[in-house]
Each structure stands twice: as C-alpha cells, then as structure tokens.
A and B are shown apart, each in its own frame.
Chain A
Amino acid sequence: SQTIHQWPATLVQPVGSPLSLECTVEGTSNPNLYWYRQAAGRGLQLLFYSVGIGQISSEVPQNLSASRPQDRQFILSSKKLLLSDSGFYLCAWMRDRPNYGYTFGSGTRLTVV
C-alpha cells in the first residue's frame, strides 16, 4: 500500500538553530512531493515541490531550503531558524491518476522560541 511518513511530530527549537524535517513515501516510485506551511489560523502556503531526485522548485523565497536526495525522500531544512518560521509543516504526495490528488503527511508542529 502507499503511505507517507513525516517526522518529527512536534519540535521546539531556539532562534538561530538549524532545522531538518523529513518526509518519505512508500509504495510508489518517482512521486511528486510538496512541502506546505500553515501558520496559526492561516491557510496552506506552498513552499517547495519536487518532481524528481535533485529537482527542487521554490515557491516562496525565505531562509528555508529543500532537498530530494532519494526518489521517495523529501527534506526541509534551515541553517538558522527565525521566529516567523513557527507553524505547522505538511509534506504531501501527489497520487497518480485515476486517484489524482494529494495525500498529506501527519504534519510537524514547529515552535521557534
């Protein structure tokens, strides 16, 4: 079966510290993968998407970066976190047709203090 895993579930980090969030999918190959951020009480903002290994497209310029070192692995990183980076981060995988659509990971709640 096809599943998506995201970790950690919660994270509290000090300002200026690095960040690494990981997302992996199982049961599919060459998936399109996405990172979204949801600030408190706000909508879903697309941060990065990837259509293949080493292929990253950035939607919003900021101090975050993404990498796709393996076909089914998508990583969100930062060298130095800002207070404004706090939020709920969601990884998503695009299912192929005929079941086209997103499946979201369980999310990571990041609090920068």
Chain B
Amino acid sequence: GENVEQHPSTLSVQEGDSAVIKCTYSDSASNYFPWYKQELGKRPQLIIDIRSNVGEKKDQRIAVTLNKTAKHFSLHITETQPEDSAVYFCAASNQYNFNKFYFGSGTKLNVKP
C-alpha cells in the first residue's frame, strides 16, 4: 500500500517569513495530492491540491510543487501570518483505486508575531 512521509513534524517561523513542508510517497500509481489545514479541535479543511499531470499550482500565498520522478511534493506558504498557525497534512491518493487517501503524520506550524 501507499506510505506517505511528512517533514518536519514541527515548524516555527517569524511572521512574514516563508514556510515549506515536504512529503514523499511510495506508490507510483498515486495521482492526486491534497493538502489539509487543521486548526485545533476542528476538522481538516482542504487548502490546495495538485494532480499528477501538473508540476506546480499556486493560490495566493500558498503553492504546491510535485516531482513525480522523485515521488515528492511540497507545500510553500509565503508571507506567513499568525492565522496560518495550524497542523498541515499532506495526502496521496489514486483516484482510480477506491479513492483512499493516505495522510502524512502532520506538521505543526507556529507563526510567531
């Protein structure tokens, strides 16, 4: 089955700096890679996703890159703000195989004002 690894487990940055979270996956059949943000005690919410036919996707201050050959993908947050503080999860999925998502272990991001 798929195995998703995520690093770092915790990340502390100063407000305004950039944050990068990295994930690797094992199953070359995975073709969809979402990122979720989970605030304390709440449900995970999708913030951005990327499909395997695209190498990069941006949405305002957040971007995701995908390297299919190396089987890794990354989340980039620029100009971080205190409200970006949360736990971020990456996931990998094969859209054509029961649609199961396999999640990374999460990164706790702390943005210091």
Please determine whether B46 and A102 come into contact, CB atoms closer than 8 angstroms.
yes
**For the complex, what is the distance from the CA of A97 to the CA of B44, rounded to whole Å?**
20
Pick from B49, B99, B102: contact of A94, CB below 8 A. Answer: B99
Task: Scan A6-50; emit 1 where CB is below 8 A from any B CB, else 0.
Answer: 000000000000000000000000001010100000111110010
Chain B's nearest CB lies how many Å from the CB of A50? 10
In terms of DSSP, what is the predominant structure of the interface of chain A? Answer: strand
Please determine whether B34 and A102 come into contact, CB atoms closer than 8 angstroms.
yes
- From B12-20, B52-60, B69-77, B103-111, the one touching the partner chain is B103-111
Tell me whether A87 is interfacial, beta carbon within 8 Å. Answer: no
**For the complex, what is the distance from the CA of A94 to the CA of B6, rounded to whole Å?**
23
Chain B's nearest CB lies how many Å from the CB of A105? 7
Tell me whether B95 is interfacial, beta carbon within 8 Å. Answer: yes
Chain A's nearest CB lies how many Å from the CB of B7? 12
Please determine whether A43 and B43 come into contact, CB atoms closer than 8 angstroms.
no
Task: Scan A80-103; emit 1 where CB is below 8 A from any B CB, else 0.
Answer: 000000000010101001001110
Pick from A32, A36, A102: contact of B98, CB below 8 A. Answer: A32
Please determine whether B43 and A46 come into contact, CB atoms closer than 8 angstroms.
no
Please determine whether A43 and B105 come into contact, CB atoms closer than 8 angstroms.
yes
**For the complex, what is the distance from the CA of A44 to the CA of B89, rounded to whole Å?**
9
Chain B's nearest CB lies how many Å from the CB of A10? 10
Closest to B43 in A: A104
